[in-house]
């Protein structure tokens, strides 16, 4: 059944219910780096945003990589020597190592053990395992089940009804045009099966961000991508080099709905204005958060930031990958994530993105000296009281600054090089108020906007 996601007029309760419905629809789908599960996922997300779905054929070269054969799976199980089914793919799609080749045979327990994966330290969890580039097969199960069922002599019957054939790798793309040809990247990955925080939450949140951005008048252009992790980003970069060179920054959206506190993985630069906007937004919202330095062991921010592209890409998360105990296990399920947390993370991301979009550069059209503001109606006609303590005490705005402060600081700092956020940092004036005032000064031909 199609669930229509409505935004804007719905109350928070309705939004949470709709997010919950999408989480439940998308969670059971078997996704990998290729396959029909990815296509089904993107088709569902098209109900929220008008994604263009692109297919890249198996065998296509992408720098040092080659797109592998497409993998799809119908069923898989293990039966004990008495014929009882003790592992069943239909109960959890994590039971099969992703990209397992087809197999159907009876084997000894000793041979079977070489193909079993479990976690002794998390005995109730099924681990998530893959074998994308080596043709083999395997099953994942809880250690508790391993101890319970795999202790008999005799032949175990194993079956993996899968298929590896020439097909394609599937990517979802949405480009939202702004006034500038400069682009900001929002990327998420779609290759994990039934793992809720990593990264069903990121896929859904990215779609909601795209829907919201489509409703807004934007300065920058936004390139929103849904890719299989690693290979998908590499393929997209290789086929869109010129476009990606226009990207000045971005986010990889992942693990955004766990119960823990927020975190931010910095861009590879560490102190880019994107990093500073994120930290200021967290502080302004009163969020408890942790900063993680850039690490080459991560997600697609590593691909986008490699030397040829050098795009500063960060990640805002809630229970960051690697950091929570349930990571890459069956315990990362719909009980671990909450739709309310998806909505909270949406609010955080949109606050940051709205700040990114108004962080543009202006250049003064009167750089030699302060222009005469009075004749433009921008300076008080009655002088003498400016910065006077008694007058400020009586007339100061609730925020503690005046419109004249905004105007004068903008005319002083707008040299075509400093962006608005840098000016906000220097002056302690609000970014949004600086933007509104700068736009007004453009109407008076005192500033010109530079966003290309």
How far apart are alpha carbons 363 and 442 in whole angstroms?
10
Q: Write out the two tokens for 126.
A: 């099924």
Domain edge (last residue) among 132, 165, 198? 165
User: Could you tell me which residue, 124 or 13, shows the higher pLDDT?
Assistant: 124
How far apart are alpha carbons 10 and 399 in whole angstroms?
31
In a domain? residue 296 = yes
* Least confident segment among 228-232, 365-369, 388-392: 388-392
Same domain, 236 and 317: yes
Whether the predicted pLDDT of 395 surpasses 50: no
Whether the predicted pLDDT of 242 surpasses 70: yes
Same domain, 119 and 219: no
Give the other-Cβ count within 10 Å of 253's Cβ. 27
How many structural domains comprise the chain?
3
In a domain? residue 2 = no
pLDDT at residue 379, rounded to an integer:
80
Q: What is the pLDDT of residues 250-287, one digit of tens each?
A: 999 999 999 999 999 999 999 999 999 999 999 999 99
pLDDT at residue 452, rounded to an integer:
79
Same domain, 220 and 279: yes
- Decide the pairing of beta strands 155-165 and 103-108: antiparallel
Question: Is the overall model pTM greater than 0.85, yes or no?
Answer: yes
Q: What is the pLDDT of residues 372-382, one digit of tens each?
A: 998 888 987 64
**Domain hosting residue 403, numbered range:** 361-450
| For helices 339-358 and 12-26, angle between their N-to-C axes, nearest 10 degrees | 110
**Helix boundaries (H) for 46-92:** none
pLDDT at residue 397, rounded to an integer:
41
In a domain? residue 5 = no
**Residue 384 pLDDT grade (very low, low, confident, very high; cuts 50, 70, 90):** very low
Q: What is the pLDDT averaged over residues 237-242?
A: 98
Q: What is the pLDDT averaged over residues 372-395?
A: 62
How far apart are alpha carbons 452 and 440 in whole angstroms?
20
Domain edge (last residue) among 342, 358, 374? 358
Q: What is the pLDDT of residues 17-44, one digit of tens each?
A: 999 999 999 999 999 999 999 999 999 9
How far apart are alpha carbons 371 and 369 in whole angstroms?
6
Same domain, 50 and 104: no
**Residue 400 pLDDT grade (very low, low, confident, very high; cuts 50, 70, 90):** low
Task: Return the CATH number at 430.
Answer: 1.10.10.10
Task: Return the CATH number at 99.
Answer: 3.50.30.90
- CB-based contact 23:339 (threshold 8 Å): yes
How far apart are alpha carbons 347 and 335 in whole angstroms?
22
Peptide bond into 146 cis (omega under 30): no
């Amino acid at each position: 059944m199609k669930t229509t996601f409505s935004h804007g007029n719905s109350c928070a309760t309705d939004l949470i219910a709709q997010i919950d419905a999408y989480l439940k629809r998308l969670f059971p789908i078997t996704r990998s780096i290729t396959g029909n599960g990815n296509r089904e996922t993107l088709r569902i997300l098209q109900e929220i945003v008008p994604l263009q779905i692109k297919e890249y054929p198996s065998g296509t070269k992408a720098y040092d990589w080659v797109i592998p054969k497409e993998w799809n799976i119908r069923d898989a199980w293990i039966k004990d020597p008495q014929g009882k089914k003790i592992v069943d793919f239909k109960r959890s799609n994590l039971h099969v190592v992703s990209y397992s080749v087809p197999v159907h045979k009876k084997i000894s327990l000793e041979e079977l053990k070489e193909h079993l994966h479990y976690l002794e330290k998390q005995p109730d969890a099924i681990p998530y395992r893959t074998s994308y580039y080596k043709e083999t097969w395997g099953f994942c199960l809880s250690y508790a089940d391993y101890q319970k069922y795999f202790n008999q002599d005799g032949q175990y019957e194993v079956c993996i009804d899968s298929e590896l054939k020439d097909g394609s790798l599937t990517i979802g793309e949405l480009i939202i045009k702004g006034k500038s040809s400069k682009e900001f990247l929002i990327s998420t990955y779609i290759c994990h099966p039934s793992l809720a925080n990593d990264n069903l939450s990121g896929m859904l949140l990215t779609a909601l961000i795209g829907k919201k951005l489509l409703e807004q008048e934007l300065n920058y252009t936004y390139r929103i991508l849904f890719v299989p992790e690693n290979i998908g980003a590499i393929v997209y970069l290789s086929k869109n080099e010129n476009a990606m060179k226009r990207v000045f920054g971005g986010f990889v959206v992942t693990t955004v709905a766990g119960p823990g506190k927020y975190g931010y993985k910095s861009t590879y630069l560490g102190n880019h204005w994107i990093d500073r906007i994120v930290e200021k937004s967290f502080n302004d919202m009163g969020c408890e958060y942790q900063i993680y330095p850039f690490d080459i062991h991560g997600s697609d921010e590593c691909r986008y930031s490699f030397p040829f592209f050098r795009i500063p890409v960060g990640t805002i998360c809630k229970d960051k990958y690697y950091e929570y105990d349930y990571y890459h296990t069956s315990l990362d399920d719909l009980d671990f994530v909450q739709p309310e947390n998806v909505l909270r993370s949406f609010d955080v991301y949109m606050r940051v993105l709205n700040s990114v979009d108004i962080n543009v550069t202006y250049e003064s059209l009167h750089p030699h000296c302060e222009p005469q503001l009075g004749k433009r109606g921008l300076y008080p006609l009655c002088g003498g009281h400016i910065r006077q303590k008694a007058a400020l005490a009586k007339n100061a705005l609730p925020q503690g600054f005046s419109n004249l402060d905004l105007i004068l600081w903008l005319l002083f700092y707008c040299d075509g090089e400093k962006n608005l956020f840098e000016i906000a940092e220097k002056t302690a004036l609000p970014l949004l108020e600086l933007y509104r005032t700068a736009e007004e000064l453009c109407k008076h031909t005192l500033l010109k906007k530079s966003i290309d």
